[in-house]
Chains A and B, each alone.
Chain A
Amino acid sequence: MLFRSGPRRRRRPEGLILGLALLLTGCAADAELDTFQDQSETARQINDLAIPVFIVAGVVLVLVCGAILWMSIKNRVPADDDYEGEFPTQISHNNRLEIGWTLGPFVIMVVIAVATLVTHLAINSTEANAIEVEVDGQFETWEPRVVVVGQQWWWEYRYYLTEDVTTDDLGDPWNLPEADIVTAGQMVIPTGEEVELIITSRDVIHSHWIPALNGKKDAVPGLYTPWKIEADEPGVYFGQCTEFCGLSHSRMRMQAVAVTRSDFQDWIHAQMTSATMPTDENSAEYRGMQVFSNFCASCHLVNGLNDGDYNGAETVSGSAPDLTHFASRTTFGGGLFNTYNSDGSLNDDDLAAWIRNPNDVKENYADDLPEGALPRGMPDMGLSERQIDDVIAFLATLGPRPTHAQILATEVE
């Protein structure tokens, strides 16, 4: 029977694919990148356009494959070459029919095109409202805007709260003006507000994508690309770099953390506070600070420690994550690892493994480089186990600890 039935029929129409997808995975809590679980106006607008087109495509597919199936059954004759039946009517063309099925799809496409243009204009328009934020006791009017900078293989988010910095003020991405808040791997935004993103890169092209909130936009070195993002509800929205960017492309992840206005204000307050340096010379934290100064400070900035003489990192991109508030972030290593365990304790194991040799846990090009080449990623610093423990102790003091609920919400695998 297998060889005698007709040609291949389409077994899995598009609608069924979507149904199956939803059934098997879509509604599961662990599908954090699912494009159909939209959590913002923009993402909804996109799906409102896409899903009807999926359905139209599914109908066309069923019709085409139905026709094939029907003819395969009805018009089939034995396949052997000496079949001698009378020839069917030799119809060579029918202009009216053909013009019809040229114009038919054309009309369908015109309808889809109009709908596309409407949505396209909508998702490319901005209506960001200025909000008031308190910075160092002063109230500032802030047009929600985050400068997003990609580099191999992590994302930096820069907030300019006290002055209105736009694309024109940014200069080149390797010498961005000093920002009030700089984070890595986690972008914190207030809910219900449209946040303008200015996306760029310091090395190769990356692409910034938080599927639940909006489509993606490439980060191109030397180019500042506008985009926007917003979230209806407080929550954590996962993202992944989607433009191939070299070795650890798959391990370049991020999260958008949407919080209420008051939580956002608290977060600003915490981030605007410089780190307090340990003073007890016998403590692990103090030793860790010294190790940090000797081994880490040439690349990583900690305000209050080396901001006086910091001139960017000795890497290809000229940057490394700002660690001033390291402990306030729940992920590290380009959004790949948890800073804290599920029980709220510090994730010493992953931190130690990372510092021991980053290349072991996230592949990079930082060791055994040819003469004159700069690292991409964090090199193996050759620290002793004791030094590693001390540095971790120091890092844990940087910034206020997130709440247990935040730790659980932002947990990565």
Chain B
Amino acid sequence: MTITEPTIEGPKTEGPLELESGREAIAERPLGVLTRPQGGRGWRDWLSTVDHKKIGIMYGVSAMVFFVVGGIEALLIRLQLAVPNGGVLSADVYNQVFTMHGVTMVFLFIMPLAAAFANYLIPLQIGARDVAFPRLNALSYWVWLSGAIFLNSSWIVGGGGADCGWFCYSPNSGVTFSPSHGVDFYAIGLLIAGIASLVSAINLIVTCLNMRAPGMDLFRMPVMTWMLLITQFLLLFALPVITVALFLLMFDRLFDASFFNPDMGADPLLWQHLFWIFGHPEVYIIILPAFGVVSEVIPTFSRKPIFGYTFMVFSGIAIGFMGWGVWAHHMFVSGIGPISVAAFSLSTMFIAVPTGVKVLNWLATMWGGQIRFTTAMLFAVGTVAMFTIGGLSGVTHALAPADTQQTDTYYIVAHFHYVIFGGGVLGLMGGLYYWWPKIFGFMLNERRGKVNFWLMLIGFNLTFGPMHILGLQGMSRRIDTYSSGFGFEFWNMVATIGSFIIAVSVLVLFHNIWKSKREAADLPPPGPDPWDARSLEWMVPSPVPEHNFDEVPTVESLDEWWHRKYSFDDNGKVVQIATAEEAAQDGSAKGVHLPAPSFWPLVLAVGLPLIGYGLIFNLWLCVPGGLLVGMGIFAWALEPVDDPDATHDHDGHDDDDDDHDDDGPDDAELAAAPAAPGDSTAGAPAAPGDKQGGE
């Protein structure tokens, strides 16, 4: 399939994006029927886009939608547990809600939010015009979205959500014990979403390895890109494992197999091993992107380079490797035997070492710096502190004997929320404030941002801090209610109050986005580099033009962009050699060849949930689903690399911009083919009110 992608063809001598574009390949329309869509404006553009930035934005927006869904589920959980013998939810509904809260937050919020950053930033940070396989990128998003919608549709058509916990241990996940369709939706929904992550992982790995700008050695890539690259490798190897497990579960439930039926001699621990071989790397999949954000934000706002770049990169790699050798620490009490427990206990402890290196290097970056406490910086520093708590409590249950008391209690709930929320979510929130002006061309208000931050931090600590105490007091996880008389009342009430403070902080975030957008018209545009930052994405206009770079930069050092602005004098003092405006590109390049849009990824993605519904309700539904998928694949393969009409002046897309560049193929070294349709920003440096940034 790579043969059809223009962006990877052609000689690479001048850098990966100086393309020949395969003009020969598009001389005629294959089959005479397929054309590439023209993009254009409005919703049709978004449906067919293959632009990594638009896909990143769609990932981000969808993730925030599911953040609200998962958040409402969280509030229901906290309402139910606010007082003993709570009556807000029945036991049945509670089990569905806590399951879907976990599944939604992990698979439908934080992973796609990280994917949003990965999509948007990796090409920009390595100096590329797009990812390696733009249509595959669109496919990732649409498949993920269809999986996400499919998963949540079980509330409506499946008789409720899955009720087996996000870990869905067998045999409780079997038909006997979970007769509604919830678990079917869980299995198939996650299979679909897994396709998306796998495709995306391959795409971004190839992008990082093959699409870097000239001079952008692997060890000049920003730490953010490094962490995202490691994340993609983890996804690449972890997803096949959960895929196997989910297939087995699906066959057990839908086709009467007995992979997990102990009655027939199956070992229920098989599922646990498969799940956690995926599930533990998943933790790092969640946290590493946030580590990347922190590693960008702290240097920028400390006015210092990241301390120990090499150690930062290698500790990330070490975490990535060691993450595969610790999965059974989720199973210390499952009966796997004392030798295995001892081995996994030790391996788990030593993963604290590379993690500790990261924390200390962040502190060393701040040490002696000049710290500007913008909202992004507050979030980044909050991430370091909160993650440290989560990391330390993690060490306490690496001690297998102590874990026999702690596991499956609220102490664990506290621990992983400090890691995933305190580390992952706070980190990505910082990323949101940091890259917002780059993505949308206007700043988020700092005052409201700080209200957002402090409310979130206080609410977070009120919610999850007390859970340490509750767990050590013996409050089990996943209980829909508790009796008075165990001393659980006070801290549960505190946690519930905290959860609503978090909810308010999220509302403040949405308010801030809405209000800042309205205020942006009266404010000066942020310019390419509002934070005086260090990496390549800040050398292009905000918002980023569709073609990213007017001219692919030649990279000479780590923190390339900073070194284009600053140098050292003879005394080793930093002197400015250019302002950001002088050094930045103005986004005015024309005729940059870009991959053409395509509808087929969307068509293919729509087919998958149809197959899913077919498997659950009526196999005949698989037929149209399969046809859609097949059609998507074939049409994808057969559609031309570019719209053949785009090489002449034609009337097929009058919604295009006037400055559409038509002498493309013979044009200068920028690119061989004409500007992609819809390239409306090519001629205009971004203005704050630019439609493109509106979201």
A residues adjacent to B (C-beta < 8 A): 2-3, 6-12, 14, 17-18, 20-21, 24-26, 28, 30-36, 43, 45-46, 49-50, 53-54, 57, 60-61, 64-65, 67-68, 71-72, 75-81, 83, 85-94, 97-98, 101-102, 105-106, 109, 112-113, 116-117, 119-121, 123-124, 152, 174, 199, 203-205, 207, 209, 211, 214-218, 220-223, 225, 238, 240-250, 316, 363, 370, 373, 376, 412-413
Contacts and interface: CB of A to CB of B under 8 A. Distances in A.
B345 A215 contact: no
B283 interface: no
Contact of A204 (B177, B310, B373, B407): B177
Q: Which 6 A-B pairs have the closest CB atoms?
A: A215-B404, A33-B474, A7-B381, A250-B479, A225-B335, A87-B574
B554 interface: no
A250 B487 contact: no
Contacts of B357: 98, 101-102, 105
A210 to B, nearest CB: 10
Interface string B332-347: 0111001001100110
Contacts of B393: 14, 57
A216 B404 contact: yes
B447 interface: yes
A32 B176 contact: no
A116 B484 contact: no
A353 B268 CA distance: 36
Contacts of A223: 267-269, 335
Which of B267, B305, B308, B474: most chain A CB closer than 10 A? B474
Nearest to B268: A220
B342 to A, nearest CB: 6
A152 B490 CA distance: 30
Interface stretch (B89-97, B592-600, B668-676): B89-97
24 contacts: A8-B457, A10-B385, A10-B388, A12-B461, A30-B486, A32-B485, A34-B473, A49-B399, A57-B393, A68-B381, A68-B385, A77-B372, A81-B532, A98-B311, A98-B357, A109-B353, A116-B349, A117-B345, A124-B338, A199-B335, A203-B177, A205-B268, A242-B477, A249-B478
Contacts, number: 347
Contacts of B490: 24-25
Interface string B96-115: 00000000000000000000
A207 B333 contact: yes
Contacts of A17: 465, 468-469
Nearest to B485: A413
Interface string B351-363: 0111011011101
B371 A87 contact: no
B389 interface: yes
B374 A79 contact: yes
Contact of B386 (A8, A49, A123, A203): A8
B33 interface: no
A99 B90 CA distance: 54
A46 B396 CA distance: 11
A171 to B, nearest CB: 13
Contacts of A174: 263
Nearest to B457: A8
A216 B408 CA distance: 9
B635 interface: no
Contacts of B164: 244
Given A7-B377, A77-B372, A216-B405, A112 B566 contact: no
Contact of B169 (A67, A87, A92, A243): A243
Which of B377, B385, B490: most chain A CB closer than 10 A? B385
Interface string B206-248: 0000000000000000000000000000000000000000000
